């Protein structure tokens, strides 16, 4: 069964938007536990790659989402709606600092990385970016450009942003001085 799923996956889903670390086929999730198609249980130390900070299948979140889905699943960012404005106001209120705050809504971490990097380049007036070797930041243009986990020839073929310097992670085991 597993090989069939892997085969079907790679025949149907582009590598352009897929980044797989482990050959694990998830069947269901409960809290911080993951169950594969064979019923084997795992503890989710990956935290869904840091995307879901409310837990997986959190009952309060699921109930709230189901209630909201009755009104509006999603609507374009090209028009105004009260819920997005209210959420932005709450996020501004709980964000520390006295500076002017604005919110940018995106659909993925990679798109959020792109906004952060574009903002950094624009407001700093500089063009050099830094990142760690073997890092992963997403599959959008700038996030691929700063992801050290993509081989240089892939970044080159994709015409990635060229002004990125990749640093080695500190060797904390050796405690360099």
List, for residues 54-104, the tens digit of each pLDDT value: 667 778 888 988 888 888 777 677 777 888 889 999 999 999 999 999 998
147, 135 contact by CB (below 8 A): yes
Expressed as residue numbers, the domain containing 144 is 109-167
Domain assignment present for 74: no
Domain assignment present for 151: yes
Measured CA to CA, the distance from residue 24 to residue 36 in angstroms comes to 7
Q: In the chain, how many domains are there?
A: 2
**Torsions phi, psi for 105 (to 5 deg):** -90, 135
72, 83 contact by CB (below 8 A): yes
Domain's final residue, options 52, 76, 92 = 52
pLDDT digits (tens, 9 = 90+) for 109-153: 889 999 999 999 999 999 999 999 999 898 899 999 999 988 889
Q: Secondary structure of the chain: what % helix, strand, coil (to 5)?
A: 40, 15, 45
Neighbours of 113 (CB within 10 A): 20
Provide the pLDDT for residue 90. 96
Q: pTM for this one? A: 0.66
């Amino acid at each position: 069964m597993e090989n069939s799923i892997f085969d079907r996956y790679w025949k149907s889903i582009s590598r352009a938007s897929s980044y797989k670390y482990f050959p694990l086929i998830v069947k269901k999730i409960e809290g911080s536990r993951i169950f594969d198609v064979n019923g084997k249980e795992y503890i989710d130390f990956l935290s869904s790659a840091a995307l879901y900070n409310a837990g997986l299948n959190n009952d309060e979140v699921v109930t709230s989402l189901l209630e909201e889905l009755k009104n509006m699943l999603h609507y374009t960012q090209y028009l105004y709606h009260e819920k997005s404005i209210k959420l932005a106001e709450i996020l501004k209120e709980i964000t520390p600092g006295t500076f002017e705050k604005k919110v940018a809504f995106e659909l993925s971490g990679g798109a959020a990385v792109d906004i952060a990097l574009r903002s950094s380049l624009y407001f700093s007036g500089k063009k050099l970016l830094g990142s760690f070797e073997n890092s992963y930041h997403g599959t959008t243009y700038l996030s691929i450009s700063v992801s050290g986990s993509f081989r240089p020839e892939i970044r080159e073929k994709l015409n990635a942003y060229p002004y990125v310097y990749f640093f080695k992670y500190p060797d904390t085991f050796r405690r360099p001085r």
